[in-house]
Every structure is written in structure tokens, then in C-alpha cells.
Amino acid sequence: MRYVVALDQGTTSSRAVLFDEQARVVAMKSHEFAQIYPKPGWVEHDPAAILGTQLDALREVVAISGVSVADIAAIGITNQRETTLLWDRKTGQPVYNAIVWQCRRTAPLVRRLCEEGLEAHIRETTGLVPDAYFSGTKLCWLLDTLGLRERAERGELCFGTVDSFLAYHLIAERPHVTDATNASRTMLYDIHKGDWDDELLRALRIPRALLPRVVDTSGVIGMLDPQILGRAIPVAALAGDQHSALFGQGCFEPGMMKNTYGTGCFLLMNAGDAPVRSQSGLISTVAWRLGGRTTYALEGSVFVGGAVVQWLRDEMKLISRASETEAIARSIPDSGGVYVVPTFTGLGAPYWDMDSRGAILGLTRGSGRAQIVRAALESIAYQSADLVRAMSADCGRPLVELRVDGGASANGFLMQFQSDLLGCDVVRPAVIETTALGAALLAGLAVGVWESVDELRRIWRMDARFSPSMDEAARGRALRGWRRAVERSMRWAEEEPQG
């Protein structure tokens, strides 16, 4: 029996999952790490915490599994995307905290790019919309704020998303690489040519010497430093978390769609071998690159999905564990007209409002803990429904089935409410950790654990199917109320006009 380990470095935790040849989870270990909020709208991570928790999870998952290190065929890495790191090429030491994808500090830089007439170029070249979500302006901010442009031009520094940072520190050869999926999230990468875009590099004054080499999503990058597990093991996949989940869900055919319920919610549809130009506020991105051949995806992003449950627990103190929310939501027939709009870091697709901020609306004297908890859970499904509506408009056909995964997909109330809002079946796989599964499949594919994508199709297994039970009139009322609530949250943090 051969095994594959997936390193799943997420926004709030680092986990390691060990899979067998049937893609069954043998063991899993996870470690949370601190979120850093230096100013309102700013989000950072300690790079040492990212690396340390990931190493701990890797060592511990092997230890608790009872599997011999000699039987581990490959390691795949999947990661939170857009989060931006800058480190010394010689020492590997970060020069600043990681700036997290949720961080809004570079919104003024994004506005400057648009004022300079680059919005159309960004959309056409990168497939993205100009937004502080992506890495390019984060990197520009670091270079400007820390005065590092000369060092960057001399090649003394490395920029990377989390996959690059982990590969550099885990692989013995210390490669400076990223894969095509992560590159496509930087707002610096031409998804048509498969190369960094010179015009955007000039606009943000980013030297090419700073940028990683772009590799395939599946392929041996190098060997794990033998000091970590006592043996050199091929590191054979890099993939952004949502692309990895699309692969792990078996969405290998154009038109197949999945939604991951993690810190955020991310809806991706396989778009085939050509990018789709969205007319509905979605973005085009690289789904994966295998053997030099690129498959594209259409994507919609919700910035705060499962993180709203963390907010209920950590900031509001309304729950002590995320698992309580399902029973609380079911304890009342509805939310009593309460809507939670959790746009703590702005609105993503299809609205793209960097200045939206969170709100609770529809409160009455009878509103209490249960209504707010239920409304917070419902907000995850409402935001995802907005994405599905936009994606169906872009692809010209209604959704028949939505495959779901991620931690919050274990919540039966949420999945049923999602099915009710969409009016279609929601299907949950046997392995809801499909982000990790995708990285394992991509790594195993590179070293021959699995021979082909056709073999991987047969691995996917269903756990549960949720079918809609809400009537059309009730669905319409619920969605109209949500859209009214969203409208009231928009443009809240807009700067006041001068003079």
C-alpha cells in the first residue's frame, strides 16, 4: 500500500491529511494559528506560525497514522491563495508578516491603477477584477513601505504566495516556484500567455527578479528535506486551495461546479480549455495546468463564509463551538426576518464592493441569540446563491447539481437551506476535505500512484444528497430580503468627499 500526504495550509489552520491508494483518509492533524489585525480592515499572519504549524501537522499525522515513512509516495501542497509573503533569498527569513488575502489595506492602490486606465487591461489579461483581494498590490505596498525596491531589483528577495513559501522551506533544493493556479491569483499573471505581465509589473514597479518560476500544478518539484521526516519524499503538487478542491471533487468536465465552505466560500466551474469572460462580476482563473496544458475555471468568491461562525464564537461569544450552530438554527422555525451581512472585509463577487461592511438588519425586540446565529449561518448560503445565479447567467444554463465540500458542509441545516435557496440538489462527498484530497490526487498522479484522470473519476464517492423543499414564493421572499440587506451594507466605508 502506498500513501500520499496533503499539506493543506489554510487561513486559520494548517493541516496534514494522509490518504491511502483508495483516496480514503487514514489520519488527519490540524493546528490553528493566530489572526493578526493591526488596523481595521488589515489582516496578517506570522510566517513562522504558518511554517511551524504546518511542520507540526506533517510530523504528527505520520506519527498517529502508524504508516511507515518509506510507504509515503508523495506530498502535495495546497494553500490559502493571494496571501503575500516576502523573504530573504539567502536566509529564508521573512521581512514582514504575511499580508492575508482578506486584507483591504491596498484599496487605494487598486483605485490608482483604475484611475491610470488599467482596469480593462487587468480584466482582459489576468481574468480578474481590480481588487485589494489579490497579491499584486500587496507586494507593491511591501516594497514601498519597507523601502525594499533596490534589494528586490538585485534579486536578494523572494516574493511568493503560501505555496512558494512552503516549497522554499520544505524542499531540500530550496526552489523559488509557484504553480499556475497560484500565479493566476496575483493580478500580475497573463493567463492567456502563461507568463508574468510586463505592463502590470511596470505599473506596480515590481522587478521580475522577485518573482517565482511558474510550474505545472502536478509534477515533482523536488525532495522533502530529509531532516523533516527522516527520508527524502517527492513533493509533487502545488495548487491553490479552491483549484485543488475542484480537482478533488472530480469536476474534470466543463460545466461541472463545486462550492467550498471554508473561511470564505468559493464557487468554481470547470470552463475547459479557454477562459470565459464573465458578464456577471465573476472572474476567470486557471483551474490547473497538467503536462503544460491549461484548464480554466470561472470563479466567484465570498470573503466571509465559515469565518462568520468564528466571529459568532470568538468576538460575539454567542457559541462556544461551531458544532452548536446547527441545533441552535433548528430550534426556531426561521430567523424572524433577521439578516446578517458578514461583509467584514468587503463584498466579493458578484458585487465587488471594497467598502461594504458587516451589518445585522431586521432586529426586533424579540430577536435574540438563536435568530442571530441562524441568520449568520443563512448568510453563507445567501452569498453562495448570489454566485450560483451569476455563474448560471454566464454559462447560459441553470444549475442541476452543486457539489459541496469544506468544514461547514458538514452542517446539515446549512446544506438543506442552500438546496432550498438554489432550487437544486446539493451533493456532499464522502470526503469533505476535498481541498486536501485534490492536492493528494495531483501529487499521486505525478508519481504514478494513480495512472490517469479516468482512474480518479472512479474514486469520488457521495455521502449525502440534499433536495429542495422550499416553495418558489418563499424562496423569492427570502432572496429579496437578502438583497435589500446587502444594499444597505454597501459603500459603508467609502471615504467622505473632500471639501
| pLDDT tens-digit map of 213-252 | 999 999 999 999 999 999 999 999 999 999 999 999 998 9
Confidence of residue 350 (pLDDT cuts 50, 70, 90): confident
Give the Cα-Cα-Cα angle 163, 169, 174 (nearest 5 degrees): 95
Res. 433: pLDDT tops 90: no
With contact defined as beta carbons under 8 Å apart, do 282 and 300 qualify? yes
Q: What is the mean predicted confidence (pLDDT) over 372-390?
A: 93
Cα–Cα nearest to 298, from 187, 384, 395: 395
142-147 CB contacts, 8 Å cutoff, 24+ apart: 142/84, 142/86, 142/95, 142/96, 142/99, 143/86, 143/205, 143/206, 146/86, 146/95, 146/96
The grid coordinates of residue 109 equal: 492602490
Res. 132: pLDDT tops 70: yes
- Rounded to 10°, the helix 47-65/162-170 angle is 60
Give the Cα-Cα-Cα angle 297, 303, 305 (nearest 5 degrees): 100
Domains of the chain: 3-242 (3.30.420.40)
| Residues making up the chain, counted from first to last | 499
Confidence of residue 76 (pLDDT cuts 50, 70, 90): very high
What average pLDDT does the chain have? 92
Give the model's pLDDT for residue 352: 79
Helix-strand-coil split of the chain, %, nearest 5: 35, 25, 40
Alpha helices for 315-404 (secondary structure H): 324-330, 369-395
Res. 91: pLDDT tops 90: yes
Give the model's pLDDT for residue 400: 79
Give the model's pLDDT for residue 36: 93
Contacts of 213 (CB under 8 A, 6+ apart): 175, 176, 177, 178
With contact defined as beta carbons under 8 Å apart, do 30 and 82 qualify? no
Give the model's pLDDT for residue 495: 61
Give the model's pLDDT for residue 216: 96
Contacts of 207 (CB under 8 A, 6+ apart): 149, 152, 153, 201
Res. 3: pLDDT tops 80: yes
Tell me, what DSSP letter sits at residue 190? E
Give the model's pLDDT for residue 28: 95
Give the model's pLDDT for residue 499: 43
Q: Please give the model's pTM, rounded to 2 decimal places.
A: 0.83
